[in-house]
Chain A
């Protein structure tokens, strides 16, 4: 029984982080129809900025906040300078569809290599802001520590704030309208280019939060060639696809589902099957239900 509860708790914790990354990917996809591989690089860079803040100010929370602001700034700059130029230069022709995606892949490599050049490839570590020793209930130690509580509640708070932004504000309205049809939104008076960049910025902040929350949850180690960030990108992407790539709610549910499935495979079957399971899940969803579990079947117009 305790093993079952522990598995669920582990699944929810890692799932919450995947959800944040999935949200970042979905936001960029919705606003510019780009699968942003550079999201992992941008998150890594933001996490390093967070790490610097922790060294200087000794506050995890301040670091989280600054990293998210930095992540937003980096993403906004990438969209408004780099992507916008790219879209203008390669607006049609045979490679128009794939060029932006390859460009983000290039950007991912560039950020990692540049970061390696700048900070060196040695590991640094982010210490957990609170204890990572599990709570104890009647003699049993749970796989849920104050740190994991912090991670889950931060992720949930961010997601709640985002859903309020999207459903209750005029900006959210512009984001939704621009995602559905930039042409019609533009005709109706929405400054679509600005809204797009805002979509990237929010994605950058969400990715930064995912990066800085995940690091102390794992080994605590941070390096430019970190495998953890590659996995964060891959799992975030799988979660986003499970959710239908177009839906924020889908991204959250996809992340939690993926986290839970992987936790159960890890506990009850074998650790060596975790990756295989993740990719099999991705392929099954693509083959059986390509519109995702939320099932927003409607494509966007124009």
Chain B
């Protein structure tokens, strides 16, 4: 019996910022319908890992495999077509667009991109995108403020919209950058439930500081410290790993 190949596999990823090793020989695998967490103390390289996967920083070394096929490190504009979507730590909504418009931006890849035809016929294409956006909003219970400006939302609400914008592209891999960051207890519980449900439709790669969230929603966890993977496995294994305990004790427990 052969094991199914990972939908995303990173091997020996290194990123240097002018002599500074931000990441070194990092590996990571993500399987279908799996939630994988990436944790580590501040400055461990979690964001750099995300940025390397999103074409925002350029890897010095390493290889990427998607669905068992070797692939060049994607450029940012290729992500949507590869079925990868990402939310940002700082939410990153367009403030002067409406909530619905914000989500529609995420659905751009479904637009019949003939510029001329789209410009003159706002018709069907437009209506379909709108419909997709509304469905994504429904998933995060956001239809109620679809027509409000994005900058009029509360912080927790804008985080939900950011997730809707990522979901609307129907990603196979959803990268969530600190989805629980800055949220109160009630919203964290809600976010927990949402991430849990997302497994039904895609795989989730998660960077998160809230240990409760990570431990409860992640099937597997990778722990980074000083740019290297120091431990990986299910939550029980990682929690007991002396290397992890040492790393967190060394920088103050989260």
Tell me the total A-B contact number using a CB cutoff of 8 A: 79
Please, which residues of chain A bring their CB within 8 A of the CB of B242? none
The closest CB in chain A to the CB of B121 belongs to: A169
Residue of B56, B104, B108, B118 ringed by the most chain A CB atoms within 10 A: B108
Majority DSSP secondary structure for residues of A touching B: helix
Query: B86 an interface residue at 8 Å Cβ cutoff?
Result: yes
Please, which residues of chain B bring their CB within 8 A of the CB of A188? 80, 105-106, 108, 165-166, 169
B94 touches A186 (CB 8 A): no
Query: B71 an interface residue at 8 Å Cβ cutoff?
Result: no
A173 touches B97 (CB 8 A): yes
Query: B240 an interface residue at 8 Å Cβ cutoff?
Result: no
Encode contact with B along A168-200: 1 for CB under 8 Å, 0 otherwise. Answer: 111101101100110111111111111000100
A187 touches B79 (CB 8 A): yes
Please, which residues of chain A bring their CB within 8 A of the CB of B108? 170, 174, 188-191
The closest CB in chain B to the CB of A186 belongs to: B76
CB distance from B228 to the nearest CB of A (A): 26
Please, which residues of chain B bring their CB within 8 A of the CB of A174? 105, 108
Encode contact with A along B79-109: 1 for CB under 8 Å, 0 otherwise. Answer: 1110001101000101111000100111111
CB distance from B159 to the nearest CB of A (A): 15
A171 touches B118 (CB 8 A): yes
Query: A89 an interface residue at 8 Å Cβ cutoff?
Result: no
A193 touches B77 (CB 8 A): yes
Query: A140 an interface residue at 8 Å Cβ cutoff?
Result: no
**Bound complex: CA A132 to CA B14 (Å):** 70
Please, which residues of chain A bring their CB within 8 A of the CB of B122? 168-170
**Bound complex: CA A183 to CA B90 (Å):** 13
**Bound complex: CA A168 to CA B127 (Å):** 11
Query: A165 an interface residue at 8 Å Cβ cutoff?
Result: yes
Please, which residues of chain B bring their CB within 8 A of the CB of A171? 115, 118-119
Please, which residues of chain B bring their CB within 8 A of the CB of A169? 118-119, 122, 126
Query: A56 an interface residue at 8 Å Cβ cutoff?
Result: no
Q: Assuming A176-B94, A177-B94, A187-B86, is B129 touching A170 (CB within 8 A)?
A: yes
A177 touches B115 (CB 8 A): no
Contact of B77 among A168, A173, A184, A191 (CB under 8 A): A191
A189 touches B92 (CB 8 A): no
B88 touches A184 (CB 8 A): yes
Query: B214 an interface residue at 8 Å Cβ cutoff?
Result: no
How many B residues touch the partner, as a band?
Answer: 20 to 34
Query: B54 an interface residue at 8 Å Cβ cutoff?
Result: yes
Q: Assuming A176-B97, A177-B105, A186-B76, is B86 touching A170 (CB within 8 A)?
A: no
The closest CB in chain A to the CB of B111 belongs to: A170
Query: A92 an interface residue at 8 Å Cβ cutoff?
Result: no
A189 touches B80 (CB 8 A): yes
Q: Assuming A168-B122, A193-B77, is B105 touching A181 (CB within 8 A)?
A: no
How many A residues touch the partner, as a band?
Answer: 20 to 34
Query: A298 an interface residue at 8 Å Cβ cutoff?
Result: yes
B94 touches A181 (CB 8 A): yes
Q: Assuming A176-B97, A180-B96, is B88 touching A170 (CB within 8 A)?
A: no
A189 touches B94 (CB 8 A): no
Docked complex: B100-143 residues within 8 A CB-CB of A: 101, 104-109, 111, 113, 115, 118-119, 122, 125-126, 129
Please, which residues of chain B bring their CB within 8 A of the CB of A185? 105
The closest CB in chain A to the CB of B91 belongs to: A184
CB distance from A214 to the nearest CB of B (A): 25
Contact of A173 among B54, B79, B104 (CB under 8 A): B104
The closest CB in chain B to the CB of A161 belongs to: B119
CB distance from B129 to the nearest CB of A (A): 6
Docked complex: A119-174 residues within 8 A CB-CB of B: 165, 168-171, 173-174
Pairs across A and B, CB under 8 Å, 29 listed: A169-B118, A170-B108, A170-B118, A170-B125, A170-B126, A170-B129, A171-B115, A173-B105, A174-B108, A177-B97, A177-B105, A181-B94, A184-B92, A184-B94, A187-B54, A188-B106, A189-B77, A189-B80, A189-B85, A189-B107, A189-B169, A190-B77, A190-B108, A191-B113, A192-B77, A193-B77, A194-B115, A198-B115, A298-B96
Shortest 6 CB-CB distances between A and B: which pairs? A189-B80, A186-B76, A184-B92, A188-B106, A189-B109, A177-B105
- Residues of chain B touching chain A, judged by Cβ–Cβ distance below 8 Å, are 54, 56, 76-77, 79-81, 85-86, 88, 92, 94-97, 101, 104-109, 111, 113, 115, 118-119, 122, 125-126, 129, 165-166, 169
Additional pairs, 14, CB under 8 Å, beyond known A170-B122, A170-B129, A173-B97: A168-B122, A170-B111, A174-B105, A176-B94, A176-B96, A176-B97, A180-B94, A180-B96, A187-B76, A189-B77, A189-B81, A189-B85, A191-B113, A198-B115
